[in-house]
Amino acid sequence: MTQTLPVAPWRLFTVEARAVRRLSPSFVRVTFTGPDLDRFADNGYDQRVKLAFPLPDGRGMGLPEGPDWYARWRALPEHERSPIRTYTVRAARPDVSEVDVDLVLHGDSGPATRWARRVRPGDGITMLGPDAGYDGDHRGVEFRPPVAANLLLAGDETAVPAICAILERLPVTACGQVLLEVPEAADALPVVAPPGMVVRWLARGRNAHGFRLMPAVATAATDLVTGTPAGVPVTEVNVDAEILWEVPTPVASVPLYAWLAGEAGVIRNLRRHLVAERGLDRRAVAFMGYWRLGRPDPA
């Protein structure tokens, strides 16, 4: 009797670029296709996937199979380990076996940016993503708001794809503010949002990361939160030694739910302001350090 193996939440998809579109100076959209992308689970919001990029000499792009793939990948010699980076699905169309991923172009030193600057239709890659055949929680979706009077979505260019995907899934009655700090004014992209969500693009220019975002979040908190609740202490996170990532279990009802993502040092400061200074319930503040200035992205 043949034994049927249980379906895992995530699976490896062998994909190739069907289309490549430059959206702005800092963003490129790659539409992936593959023979089994019809099994990709379209969970929406800020669903994460992992992409395995070629080695510097052009070899590889594969990942080990099986539930212990990550441990086996880590055990490989560094020169044989395909670089992995995490991205948000911008859109999924499993009915036509397509997944869109928007990549940020910054410099030319990292494996992801090098690949994104040179990718052409037909180029292959490996994607680790949610399997629609699994009937449980795939995980990888961090936008889990409680019942909230207002929403505050804020982040830098690395959070733009996630925030834009979240906005498209919000109910038409959603209200709040969206703050997107990007390198250039030309990086402001078309976005579909409920009429009650005010979207602001903040061009940073040559200023440091967070230069426009941090004061904008402070102003938004003043606009969106009534009264002046007392601040509460927060445990500081050393972003050079720890991953800045906390997605709380939703509470029943809150006046404001904040979703923050981007450079870890900036997000740490925003979290401190909202929780320690503004007094927001930390159970209603999701914050994620997508990357760390001056350090390689964690896999």
The mean pLDDT of the chain is 88
User: 10-130, what's its fold?
Assistant: Elongation Factor Tu (Ef-tu); domain 3 (2.40.30)
The answer to whether the beta carbons of residues 261 and 290 sit under 8 Å apart is: yes
**pLDDT score of 1:** 44
SS3 24: coil
**pLDDT score of 212:** 97
The pLDDT of 31-51, averaged and rounded, is 96
CATH number, domain 147-291: 3.40.50.80
**What's the pLDDT band for 241 if we cut at 50, 70, 90?**
very low
Beta bridge partners of 147: 253
The answer to whether the beta carbons of residues 176 and 196 sit under 8 Å apart is: yes
Q: How far apart are CA 278 and CA 232, in angstroms?
A: 8
Q: What are the extents of the domains in the chain?
A: 10-130, 147-291
**What's the pLDDT band for 225 if we cut at 50, 70, 90?**
confident
Does residue 239 have a pLDDT over 50? no
125-178: per-residue pLDDT in tens? 999 999 999 999 999 999 988 887 899 999 999 999 999 999 999 999 999 999
Distances (CA, A) of 55 to 24, 69, 112, 209: 27, 18, 10, 29
Q: How far apart are CA 82 and CA 216, in angstroms?
A: 38
The pLDDT of 85-104, averaged and rounded, is 97
The encoded tokens of residue 252 equal: 């029943």
Which residue is associated with the tokens 């929403």? 151
In the Cβ-directed half-sphere of 57, how many Cα atoms lie within 13 Å? 6
Q: How far apart are CA 283 and CA 274, in angstroms?
A: 12
**pLDDT score of 292:** 87
185-219: per-residue pLDDT in tens? 999 999 999 999 999 999 999 999 999 999 999 99
**What's the pLDDT band for 297 if we cut at 50, 70, 90?**
low
Cα 58 to its chain centre, rounded Å, is 26
Residue of 138 and 236 predicted with greater confidence: 138
The β-bridge relationship of strands 253-263 and 124-130 is unpaired
**pLDDT score of 283:** 85
